[in-house]
Copies of this chain bind each other. A is one copy, B any other.
Amino acid sequence: MQTNPLGKIALKMTLADDDQENSAIAARARECGYRVCTGKVGSMDLQNIIGTIETMARKSGVVGDGVVDQHALYHAVYECCSGFMRGNLILGGTLRTLGSRFAIVRGKIPGKGQNEWIAAAMYGTIGSPSKGFEHEAAGLGIIHI
């Protein structure tokens, strides 16, 4: 079975056409030894987005309670949001809202030794808080853990 790198797995999970495909990708990743969690977030307040993803990553066991796990998770999520928002980490403050599926994947990179890495991916929409005025966006953050 082909083992994709963790960022690609995380992105494919967020791009899944439905929850069934999303779960299938997660299941294959877990079989390959990755730790995985996924879900949906939506807010005009980036603090809520980050907090929700961090909480789900902790509850699902993708990260533990240690300071390095927390720091790596924060960096991965922060960089993912920075990519999704193309460098400007402001939502409501510039009158826009974000809705997306996210995925966190943690594990070794094939051929890169025993260290683990963590990837955070988001795919969804960003835009004015009026139905139909948002458009697609995506982000990926990755760091050693």
Copies of this chain, count: 6
8 interchain pairs, CB-CB under 8 A: A7-B135, A8-B15, A46-B93, A67-B144, A70-B128, A71-B127, A90-B93, A137-B140
Question: CA separation between A2 and B21, bound complex, in Å?
Answer: 15
Residues of B within 8 A of A127 (CB): 71, 74
Interface SS of chain A: helix, strand, loop or mixed?
A: mixed
Min CB–CB distance A101 → chain B (angstroms) = 11
**Residue contact A132 to B144, C-beta cutoff 8 Å:** no
Min CB–CB distance A118 → chain B (angstroms) = 11
A41 contacts chain B at the CB level, 8 A cutoff:
no
Interface size on A, residues (CB 8 A): 64
**Other-chain contact of A84, B17, B70, B83, B123 (Cβ < 8 Å):** B83
Interface string of A66-78 (1 = CB under 8 A from B): 1110111011001
